[in-house]
Amino acid sequence: MSLNATLIAQLIVFLILVWFTMKFIWPPIVKTMDERAKRIAEGLEAADRARKELAEADTRAADEVKKARAEAAAIIERANQQGAQIVDKARADALLEAARQKAAAQADIENMAHRARSELRGQVATLAVQGAEKILGREVDAGAHKALLDELVAGI
C-alpha cells in the first residue's frame, strides 16, 4: 500500500463528480419527484371531492324523486277528488234536471187534464141543455137557467 499522486487526482475527480451531481443530477430528479407527489396528492384530493359531490348529487336526486313522487301522489289525489266532485255534481244536476222535467211533465199533464176537464165540463153543459131540450121538447133558455147550469157544471 503506497500513497501517491493518485490521491490528489482522485480528490479532484471526486469533487468534480460531486459538483456535477449536485448541480445537474440531483435537483431535477428531486424536483420531478416532488412535483409528481404534489400532482398525485391533488389527484387524490380531486377524486375525493368528486366522490363527495357524487354522493351529494345522489342524495339530491333521491330527494327530488321523492318530492316528485309526493307531488304526483297529491296531484292524483286531487284529480280523484275533482273527478268525484264532477261525478257528484253531474249526478246532482241530472237528478235536479230529472226532477225539473218530471215536474214540468206533471204540470203539463195536470194542465192537459184540467183543460180536458173544463172542455168536458163545457160539453156536459151543452149536452145537458140539449138533453133537457129533448126532454122538454122545447128550447130551454140557457140564459134563464144559467144559474142552474152553472151549478150542474160545478157539480161535475
Partner 1 sequence: MAAEGPITSGAYILHHLTYLQLDLKTWKIVENSQNFWVLNIDSVFFSVVLGLLFVFLFWPVARRASSGVPKGWQNFVEVCTEFVDGQVKDAFHQKSKFVAPMALLIFFWVLFMNIMDLLPVDSLPTAAEAMGIGHLRILPSSDPNVTLSMSLTVFLLCFWYSFYCKGFKLVAKEALFHPFGKWLMPVNFVLKVVEELSKPLSLGLRLFGNMYAGEVIFILLAALTLRYSAPAHIAPITATAFFVFAALALVTVGLVAYGKGAWLRAWLPLLILPAVIAAGSIFGFLPAIGGGAYFQILFATGWGIFHWLIIGLQAYIFMVLTVAYLSMAAEHH
Nearer to partner 1, 18 or 156 (CB): 18
Q: Could you tell me the smallest distance in angstroms from the CB atom of residue 72 to partner 1?
A: 50
Q: Could you tell me the smallest distance in angstroms from the CB atom of residue 71 to partner 1?
A: 50
Of residues 128, 152, 153, 122, the one with CA closest to residue 140 = 128
Q: Which residue among 8, 57, 72, 107 contacts partner 1 (CB under 8 A)? A: 8
Q: Could you tell me the smallest distance in angstroms from the CB atom of residue 10 to partner 1?
A: 4
Of residues 122, 119, 130, 111, the one with CA closest to residue 150 = 122
* 81 interacts with partner 1 by CB under 8 A: no
Q: What angle do CA 39, 41, 47 make, to 5 degrees?
A: 100
Binding site for partner 1 (CB under 8 A): 1-11, 13-15, 17-18, 20-22, 24-33, 35-36, 39
